[in-house]
Amino acid sequence: MTTRFEIARLGAHGDGVVDANGGHIFIPFALPGETVTAARDKDRAQLISVLEPSPQRIDPACRHFTECGGCAIQHLEDQAYREWKRGLVVHALKGRGIDVAVGELVACPQHSRRRAAFTARNTETGLHLGYNKAFSHTLVDIEECPVLVPAIVEAAGTLRHLAGIIANTSKPFRFLVTATESGFDVAASDCGKPTEAIRRAATDFAIKSKIARLSIDGEIIVEPVKPMLTFGAATVSPPPGAFVQAVAEAEGAMVSLVTGHMRKARKVADLFSGCGTFALRLAAGAEVHAVEGEAPALAALDRGFRFASGLKRVTVERRDLDRRPLTFKELNVFDGIVFDPPRAGAEDQSKQIARSDVPYVAAVSCNPATLARDLRILIDGGYALKSVVPIDQFLWSHHVEAVALLEKPKKRR
């Protein structure tokens, strides 16, 4: 049934929100102040038409917008978009009673995302490669993408052909592509066990197409050139499918904030260190102890340090910080702590940091809700929150990165 609605505001996921009978209705691609018609299904509705558009409505940058599921809010003009995205961090902090002046959003340029998590599927009509439509299993083939670096978009045909070679299943599978400094790092998963014929064909095609590495379910099929990323003075080859920051410019902004805050630190703990995004830059001015639960990522960090020059000592420790966080006594040997956990945050580790005497802490997060929770713990433990800066690493989505910087006065002895 089609109904007329008045949009009150934007929700946390970029949907237009309607206040109705004490509840809310969420309408994707609708903007505050608009009058729309939509087909309602419980608390969600599908936009049918915009009767009275907002003056902030603009033409989207991509023809796939509203279909592919990758972007939520290309139709909002830039200044309003930035205010909404910054507001996601402000709202999360206020929800935990944290009153701090949140910095302006650090913008993310178009054509800058170097990492794409595609879905691929082999069908009777051929191999489809793209994104799943929002709230659907429908796969939308991608012909353009203003978010991704041009190199990935231009190679869509090559990548689609490679996905077709390795597809040994009719089910959808993950096809992760990272544009590194030495070529594409392609990590596929759930595409079926590769036969010897598939291995040979994929190897020949990857070499011919100058793909740096192809891996399937973590196994390297072919690696003509090691995929490389530069972290300060070090060069790192991340393991297949490893986490790396999606946008180099966003990574640079985060690194600048963190290293600036740690400029007086002489010994720093980098928790949830990954392949060394922060650790290897911090090592230019401080000794660093990098702690990470994933052994391959930690090994990549260690190799990057050992082949670099001009860095202070970097030590590594494999440890599941969710199950066994560093205790406050272990942390007290450091004068700086950086932590960049997954979306679930670092609640238990934050409790230990809060009990410590470490003067400088930098918290990096891609989830404002868990960041606010962890900051509340640190503030209650005596830390002063000096600044929070939101960073738009995930352009036109509801995801936002943030860097929070904290200090704790030294105890008088």
Q: Would you call 29 exposed, middle or buried from its count of C-beta atoms within 10 A (0-12, 13-18, 19+)? A: buried
Residues 6+ apart with CB under 8 A from 156: 129, 142, 143
Active site residue 145: no
Q: Which of 108, 145, 191, 366 is catalytic?
A: 366
Is residue 358 within 8 Å of 332, Cβ to Cβ? yes
Is residue 250 within 8 Å of 106, Cβ to Cβ? yes
CA dihedral 257→74→150→241, nearest 10 degrees, is 60
H or E element at residue 296:
helix 295-306
Phi, then psi, of 91 in degrees rounded to 5: -65, -40
Minimal CA–CA distance to 108: which of 253, 260, 230?
A: 253
Report the alpha-carbon distance of residue 65 to residue 29 in Å, rounded: 10
- Is 272 flagged in the annotation as binding? yes
Phi, then psi, of 160 in degrees rounded to 5: -65, -40
Question: How far lies 119's CA from each of 80, 177, 218, 245, in Å?
Answer: 31, 11, 17, 20
Write out the two tokens for 206: 């990857």
Is residue 378 within 8 Å of 354, Cβ to Cβ? yes
Is residue 235 within 8 Å of 307, Cβ to Cβ? yes
H or E element at residue 407:
strand 401-407
* Angle formed at CA 236 by CA 250 and CA 273, multiple of 5 degrees: 65
- Is 340 flagged in the annotation as binding? yes
Residues 6+ apart with CB under 8 A from 363: 339, 340, 371, 374, 375, 378, 403, 404, 405, 406
Please spell the DSSP secondary structure of 27-82, one letter per residue: ETT--TT-EEEEEEETTEEEEEEEEE--TTB---S-TTTTTSSS-S-TTB-HHHHH
Catalytic positions are 366
- Known binding residues: 245, 272, 292, 340
Q: Which residues are annotated as part of the binding site for S-adenosyl-L-methionine?
A: 245, 272, 292, 340
